[in-house]
Amino acid sequence: MSGYWTGIVAILCFNIVVAYSVFLPAAAGQLNLGAAGFVAIGAYTSGYLSTDVGLAMWLTIPIAALATGAVAFLISFPMLRTRGVYMVLATLAFAEIVQGIYINLEIFGAAAGYPVAAFAELDIIAPITILVILFVVFLMATRFGLSMRAVHDDERVASLFGVNTRMTKVAAFTLGGVIAGIGGAIWAHQFNYVEIQHFNILLSTFVLLYVLIGGTQTPYGPLVGAVFFTLLPEFLRVSNEWRFVIFGVIIVLMMVVRPEGLVTRTLVERFYGLFWRRGRTAVADR
Partner 1 sequence: MLILQQLISGLMIGGIYVMVAVAFTLTIGMLNFLNFTIPALFMLSGMVAWGLTTVGVHWALALLGGVATATFASLIVERFTYRYMRVRYGDATEHALPLVSSLGFLIIFEHLVLVILGSDPQRFPTPFTSADFHLGKLIIGIPQLVSLVLALAIVWGLSIMLKRTRVGRALRSIAENPDAATLMGVSVNYIVPIVFVITGLMAGIAGMLFTLNYADINAYMGDNVAAKAIAGMVIGGLGNIWGAIAGGLIVGLTEVMAIHFFGADIVKIPIWGLLLLILLVRPSGLFGHTAIGKGKF
Q: Which of 89, 130, 131, 167 binds partner 1 (CB under 8 A)?
A: 89
Question: Does the footprint of partner 1 cover residue 31 (CB under 8 A)?
Answer: yes
Q: Which of the residues 257 through 276 are near partner 1 (CB under 8 A)?
A: 259
Report d(CA 264, CA 149) in Å as an integer: 13
Report d(CA 208, CA 26) in Å as an integer: 9
Q: What are phi and psi of 194, to 5 degrees?
A: -115, 120
CB of 175: closest distance to partner 1 in angstroms?
21
Contact residues for 164 (Cβ-Cβ < 8 A; gap 6+): 147
Question: Does the footprint of partner 1 cover residue 96 (CB under 8 A)?
Answer: yes
Nearer to partner 1, 244 or 271 (CB): 244
Q: Point out which span in 13-21, 133-141, 251-259, 265-273 binds partner 1 (CB under 8 A).
A: 251-259
How many chain residues are in contact with partner 1, going by CB under 8 A? 43
Question: Does the footprint of partner 1 cover residue 85 (CB under 8 A)?
Answer: yes
Report d(CA 194, CA 184) in Å as an integer: 9
Contact residues for 159 (Cβ-Cβ < 8 A; gap 6+): 165
Instruction: Output the CA–CA distances (angstroms, integers) from residue 95 to 33, 60, 193, in the order listed.
Output: 8, 22, 20
| Beta strand residue intervals within the chain, DSSP E | 114-115, 193-194
CB 202 within 8 A of CB 211: no
CB of 138: closest distance to partner 1 in angstroms?
26
**What SS3 state is found at 193?**
strand
CB of 100: closest distance to partner 1 in angstroms?
3
Question: Does the footprint of partner 1 cover residue 255 (CB under 8 A)?
Answer: yes
Q: Which of 234, 259, 261 shows the shortest CA–CA distance to 246?
A: 234
> Side chain identity at 273, as an amino acid letter?
G
Nearer to partner 1, 90 or 180 (CB): 90
> Side chain identity at 277, as an amino acid letter?
R
CB 147 within 8 A of CB 136: no
Q: Which of the residues 97 through 126 are near partner 1 (CB under 8 A)?
A: 97, 99-101, 103-104, 110-111
CB of 139: closest distance to partner 1 in angstroms?
22
Q: Which of 65, 67, 71, 90 binds partner 1 (CB under 8 A)?
A: 90
Q: Which of 123, 91, 101, 60 shows the shortest CA–CA distance to 203?
A: 91
Q: Which of 5, 138, 242, 276 binds partner 1 (CB under 8 A)?
A: 242
Q: Which of the residues 156 through 215 are near partner 1 (CB under 8 A)?
A: 201, 205, 208-209, 212-213
Q: Point out which span in 14-22, 93-101, 152-160, 183-191 binds partner 1 (CB under 8 A).
A: 93-101
Q: Which of 156, 197, 239, 274 binds partner 1 (CB under 8 A)?
A: 239
Report d(CA 142, CA 163) in Å as an integer: 14
Which residues contact partner 1 by CB under 8 A? 31, 78-79, 81-86, 88-90, 93-94, 96-97, 99-101, 103-104, 110-111, 201, 205, 208-209, 212-213, 239, 241-242, 244-245, 247-252, 255-256, 259
